[in-house]
Amino acid sequence: MIGAIADDFTGATDVAVALRRRGIRTLLYFGLPPQRAEAPEHDAVVIALKTRTVHKADAVARSLRALRWLRAHGAAEQVYFKYCSTFDSTPDGNIGPVLDALADAMDVPIVPMTPSSPEHGRTQYNGYLFVGDVLLGESPMRHHPLTPMTDSYLPRLLEAQSAYRSGVVTLPHVRGRGVERRLAELRGQGVRYAFVDALEDDDLMEAGRALAGAPLVAGAAGLAGGLAAAHARTRAGAGHGGAPAPEPSGPAAVLAGSCSARTLEQVHHMIEAGRPAYRLDALADQNADSLARGALAWYDTLRQGTGAPLIYSSLEPAKLRRVQEALGVERSASILEAAIGRIARGLVERGVTRLVTAGGETSGAVVSALGVPGGVIGAEAARGVPWILPSSGPALLLKSGNFGDPDLLLEASLADPRN
């Protein structure tokens, strides 16, 4: 059984659907599951944590609690630590400390990993991470509000955060079926973290084959898909988890707190298409309650037939910087996340049954405010962006900041006559 621990909520849905696509029956929990979780039959559990940007000690403690839960529930045969395909973290960030803690707790000498996700344009070559055709540090990720990425060399990024050394399994090792040999070599050199190069899905499939027996693996959803494919090949009855996923229906609303380049395009697209849109302005009002009240009062004035509305705080880099300079990075984010959480609650009270949220931290705030414990993985609105169907409450589409075509937010909130 695979047990995945994801460092944010959109990442959790991304890895959950990567497993399910390969026929692995996957349960998704938001936060630590209850001790005696009643659950249908499953082959994998994904625990979504919001640990990407919290304090280090907190991230470590929560991740270790998740590991203990997985072990206690027989779901730790292989543990997968899911981080972002753009390695979102700061030099003081949490990927290193969490990996150090998991590897120590599991007594694992070497942890293979890669953020490569070619279907999203993330590739790793000679240990460098590319986003599309540029290095990570030259991509729009350098302007991320909380985790600006200005370096692209993965071993250096991780070593700045970890007590241990990192190395690279290069492409010739992957393509020459030499991953296991190279891992043994790196281990002999005292390296604890091995970044595996992958340019194409086939490289991830090969890495998955080679790493199917590794107790602790890490990375983005791409490598989890490679592992799932390897497990599905050896498992009787594989394919059972790939049944068609249900599509939710009902009134929709879109909440965007991501300032990533792709979300900005998607927000712009919705506004251009004439959807009613309301911007949360933290410079004008620093009180989360009154920001939320303002947005909900605006929502109450909307007439039927306008299409699902958009409530957003997304700003392009120069304007975002001005807000952050005036209010502080953490303070502005926490005001907006609190406001969006309250708005989500208000929308559900007003009859919204499909909530689309853009941004990992933002999604975490929405799910926590709604108190959703987890859900079934539904149809994918875009690659890596599945609907999540909780046993009660609204269907949720938690969209990673950089995922989806420019029309995703518009399209995902269509398709209901009441909108």
Ligand X SMILES: O=C(O)[C@@H](O)C(=O)COP(=O)(O)O
Footprint of ligand ADP (CB under 6 A): 145-146, 257-260, 263, 282, 313-315, 320, 323-324, 332-333, 336-337, 359-362, 400-401
The pair of structure tokens assigned to 402 is 């950089």
Half-sphere exposure of 27 (CA within 13 A, CB side): 23
Residue for token pair 């998607």: 266
Bridge partner residues of 216 (DSSP): 79
Residue whose CB is less far from ligand ADP, 200 or 405: 405
C-beta of 349: minimal distance to ligand X in Å?
26
Strands (DSSP E) found in 61-190: 78-82, 111-114, 122-125, 128-131, 134-135, 165-169
CA distances from 120 to 257, 356, 404, 418 (A): 20, 20, 9, 33
C-beta of 300: minimal distance to ligand X in Å?
29
- From the list ligand ADP, ligand X, none, pick the one residue 146 interacts with, judged by a Cβ distance below 5 to 8 Å according to partner type: ligand ADP
Read off φ and ψ for residue 245, nearest 5 degrees. -90, 145
- From the list ligand X, ligand ADP, none, pick the one residue 413 interacts with, judged by a Cβ distance below 5 to 8 Å according to partner type: none
Residue whose CB is less far from ligand X, 220 or 315: 220
Residue whose CB is less far from ligand ADP, 165 or 286: 286
C-beta of 301: minimal distance to ligand X in Å?
31
Bridge partner residues of 217 (DSSP): 80
- From the list ligand X, ligand ADP, none, pick the one residue 221 interacts with, judged by a Cβ distance below 5 to 8 Å according to partner type: ligand X
C-beta of 116: minimal distance to ligand X in Å?
10
C-beta of 87: minimal distance to ligand X in Å?
9
Residue whose CB is less far from ligand X, 207 or 296: 207
C-beta of 63: minimal distance to ligand ADP in Å?
18
Q: Are 400 and 408 in contact (CB under 8 A)?
A: no
- From the list ligand X, ligand ADP, none, pick the one residue 282 interacts with, judged by a Cβ distance below 5 to 8 Å according to partner type: ligand ADP
- From the list ligand X, ligand ADP, none, pick the one residue 78 interacts with, judged by a Cβ distance below 5 to 8 Å according to partner type: none
Residue whose CB is less far from ligand X, 88 or 411: 88
- The CA R_g of the chain, rounded to the nearest whole Å, is 21
Q: Are 261 and 141 in contact (CB under 8 A)?
A: no
Between CA 29 and CA 6 the distance in angstroms is 10
CB burial class (10 A; 0-12, 13-18, 19+) of residue 340?
A: buried
Q: Are 416 and 394 in contact (CB under 8 A)?
A: no
In the complex, which residues of this chain contact ligand X (CB under 6 A)?
A: 8, 10-11, 14, 84-86, 88, 220-221, 359-360, 400-402
C-beta of 256: minimal distance to ligand ADP in Å?
8
- From the list ligand ADP, ligand X, none, pick the one residue 320 interacts with, judged by a Cβ distance below 5 to 8 Å according to partner type: ligand ADP
Looking at residue 215, its amino acid is: P
Residue whose CB is less far from ligand X, 85 or 419: 85
Residue whose CB is less far from ligand ADP, 202 or 316: 316
- Of 3, 166, 186, 8, which Cα lies nearest the Cα of 94? 8
| Residues sharing a CB contact under 8 Å with residue 133, sequence separation 6 or more, in sequence order | none
- From the list ligand X, ligand ADP, none, pick the one residue 206 interacts with, judged by a Cβ distance below 5 to 8 Å according to partner type: none
Find the residue with minimal CB distance to ligand ADP: 401
Angle formed by the axes of helices 179-188 and 201-211, nearest 10°: 60
- From the list ligand ADP, ligand X, none, pick the one residue 3 interacts with, judged by a Cβ distance below 5 to 8 Å according to partner type: none
| Residues sharing a CB contact under 8 Å with residue 156, sequence separation 6 or more, in sequence order | 166
Read off φ and ψ for residue 28, nearest 5 degrees. -120, 125
Residue whose CB is less far from ligand ADP, 310 or 336: 336
C-beta of 405: minimal distance to ligand ADP in Å?
16
Residue whose CB is less far from ligand X, 10 or 78: 10
The pair of structure tokens assigned to 410 is 């518009």
C-beta of 139: minimal distance to ligand X in Å?
12
Between CA 113 and CA 216 the distance in angstroms is 9
Residue whose CB is less far from ligand ADP, 276 or 401: 401
C-beta of 65: minimal distance to ligand X in Å?
20
